[in-house]
Every structure is written in C-alpha cells, then in structure tokens.
Amino acid sequence: MKRVLITGAAGFIGFHLARKMAERGDEVLGLDCINDYYDENLKFARLAELGIGEGARDPGREVQSSRFPGLSFVRAGIEDRRSMEGVFSHRSFDVVCNLAAQAGVRYSIENPRSYVESNVVGFLELLECCRAAATPHLVFASSSSVYGLDATRPFSPHSGAEHPASVYAATKKADEMLAHAYSHLFRIPVTGLRFFTVYGPWGRPDMAYYKFSEAILEGRPIDVNNGGDMYRDFTYIDDIVEGILRVADRPPSADPSWDPSRPDPASSSAPYRIYNIGNNRPVRLGDFVAELEKLLGARATKRYPPMPAGDVYATEADVSDLERDFGWAPSTPLGEGLDRFVSWFREYRGEAGKAR
C-alpha cells in the first residue's frame, strides 16, 4: 500500500488513476479545484463514480469515499499555497502524481495567464511542498505538445523540444525545467510523462473525439481541420494509467552515465527522467472520423477549415525507453478503445445529457 496524492483527481486522467489506485488498496487523497473550463457536472459525476458525494463542492472540505475506504477528496487548487501547505502538513506521501493543469492548446492562445497561473505557479507551489516534505517520488504530467515545431518523427524524449507552438506547450516545457532544477538542487526523484492524445470513457468534452461524437449524434457539422490530413498518436486511457502506475512504483535514480558535455534531456545526474507514453501508431484524422462514424452508426456533415494556430501536423511517440525500463508499452488498438468510449458516451448522454 502506498500513500498517494493525486492532483487533478476530478479530471479525465486523474479520475481513472484515483480509481485504479484505490482499487489496488492504496491510500489516496485526491485534489482538484474543479474550474469551469469545461462542464463541472462531468467532473462531479466522475467524483460520484468514486463514491465522493456532494460535500466535494465545498472548498477545503475533505470528503471520504463511500466506495473505497482509502480514498478521500479535497476541493483545492495547487496554485493556492495555503491549501497546499495545509495538505502536506497533515500527512506524508510516498508518491505525488501531479495531473492538475489548465488543459487545451487553443484556449491557451486566448487565456495565457490562466495557464501560467495553474501550470507554472501551481506546479512551483507543489514542488515547494515536495521539497519541504522530502517526497520520495513526484510524477507529473507533461505533454506531447512540447515537441511543437519539431518535424522529426517519432518524437524522442532525447531531443531538445525547444520550439513549443502554443502557450500550453510552453508551460509544460517550463514544468519539465522546474522539475529538473528541484531534482538537481534537492535530490527529489522526479519523473515527467509526455502524454500523447489521450482518449476513452469519461473523457474531456473539449477533445475532438468527444466534440465530434456529440455533433454527429445531434446532426451538427464537424470541423475536420486541414482536410483530415493530420495525424495523432491516440492513446487509450487504460494504457496511460498503466504507464503511470508502473512509473510511480519505481522512483528514478541518477544516471551514472549522464555526460554534461553531451547532455541527454531525458535523464540527468539528478534523479530525473522523462518518458513518452503514446500508442506509437499515428492515425490520420480523416480515418479517425470514419471509424467514429462507423461506431456511432451515423454519418458526419463535415467542414474543412485550415489547421488552427498552435496545432501541429502530426504526433508520434517513441516509447523505446518505456519498453526498456519497464518492459511495457501502450497497445490498445484504436477501434477497441473508441468502441469503449462510444459505449460509455451513449450511456452518459442517456443518464446525464439532458442535465448538461
């Protein structure tokens, strides 16, 4: 049993991770500010699925799960220094999993300050708490977005990723740099995970697969950017969670072969590692839409706008480090994962759609 803090626990990935860790018997405290970037009802529905009731709406109140004896939840944001210090003053953690973030590439162009506040200032507050508590392992969510304008595929964590194409990507790259500095200065074992286009049940309504599904079933047109000629390394949520679990259970150590004259961005003389978690099977957007239409049993009315600012043409994960160090890599086929999402989506719309 591990004592675990999961930030962003009402979010898509955080919810799935909290459930999995609670099921295996870990003692889990979930945190989430529950902002209104997308429908709060979905976030509270995720919490209800974890057995976290109405008390979750009250800021600062710890609510015990009715389903999992070792799981509790507090509504708080990581950028709130007082709340974070309070959490760490009352208990210690074997692992901290930071999945809290202001998400979304395009929204970051319109609201850059909210990204810096949550993703940079909030992450700094969490790092300070981990430093003061001598946390044995911090795992944090980065993103494939950090690769930005890099056209060399598959994307490797050993490349510099120095040219982010959005404010969101820049804040995630800043997190990696801050994490390394704290690992170097204070010897905090830190692992960063670059996620690639995560999808699945209980997913985010701002993601293309969710928006497409809603529009197709409601008879509204969908925007298929760049004529569908874009590629994404869609990664199923269960694979993402399995990767986090494997990484969380094994804190990194300093790399004895790390050479400062030829520095490897994915490792360090500090206990620090960066890994990609992606399916390593990029799918053309047009083909993705066709698969979704087949599973939904409906045809989409399509519009074809150009590729939006901040987007990139293709993503593809090099997961060889994950395979080498953990003997594992994501493997869920797109058709199987999308079928599970569609089944959940139909059920959720039937039960909760009219309330949204």
Q: What is the pLDDT of residues 44-79, one digit of tens each?
A: 999 999 999 989 999 999 999 999 999 999 999 999
According to the model, what pLDDT value does residue 160 have?
82
Average pLDDT, the chain: 94
Q: What percent of the chain has pLDDT over 70?
A: 98
Q: What does 278-298 look like in DSSP terms, one character per residue?
A: --S--EEHHHHHHHHHHHHTS
Tens digits of residue pLDDT in 219-273? 999 999 999 999 999 999 999 999 999 999 999 999 999 999 999 999 999 999 9
Looking at residues 300-318, what average pLDDT do you find? 91
Give the pLDDT band of residue 351 (cuts 50, 70, 90). Answer: low
**Token digits for 264?**
């490897």
According to the model, what pLDDT value does residue 355 have?
37
Tens digits of residue pLDDT in 16-30? 999 999 999 999 999
Looking at residues 310-330, what average pLDDT do you find? 94
Tens digits of residue pLDDT in 135-162? 999 999 999 999 999 989 999 999 888 9
Q: Angle between the 334-352 and 208-218 helix axes, to the nearest 10 degrees?
A: 60
**Token digits for 78?**
């990581």
**Token digits for 98?**
């930071």
Give the pLDDT band of residue 312 (cuts 50, 70, 90). Answer: confident
Structural domains of the chain sorted by starting position, each given as residue range(s) with its CATH number in brackets: 3-199+236-278+317-331 (3.40.50.720)
Give the pLDDT band of residue 354 (cuts 50, 70, 90). Answer: very low
Q: What percent of the chain has pLDDT over 90?
A: 87
Tell whether the model's pLDDT for residue 167 goes beyond 70. Answer: yes
- Strand ranges for 8-161 from DSSP E: 27-32, 62-64, 71-75, 95-98, 138-143
The bridge status of strand 222-223 relative to strand 302-303 is: parallel
Ramachandran bin of 304, using left for φ above 0, alpha for ψ from -120 to 50, beta for the remaining angles: beta
Looking at residues 341-355, what average pLDDT do you find? 78
168 is catalytic: yes
Q: Which residues of 88-126 are buried (b: 16+ CB within 10 A; e: fewer)?
A: beeeebbbbbbbbbbbbbebbeeebebbbebbbebbbbb
Instruction: Specify the higher pLDDT residue, 308 or 105.
Output: 308
Where does residue 20 rank: exposed (0-12), middle (13-18), buried (19+ CB within 10 A)? middle
Give the phi and the psi of residue 53 in degrees, each rounded to 5. -90, -160
Tens digits of residue pLDDT in 172-230? 999 999 999 999 999 999 999 999 999 999 999 999 999 999 999 999 999 999 999 99
Q: Which amino acid is at 10?
A: A
Tell whether the model's pLDDT for residue 319 goes beyond 70. Answer: yes
Q: Identify the active-site residue in 38, 115, 168, 275.
A: 168
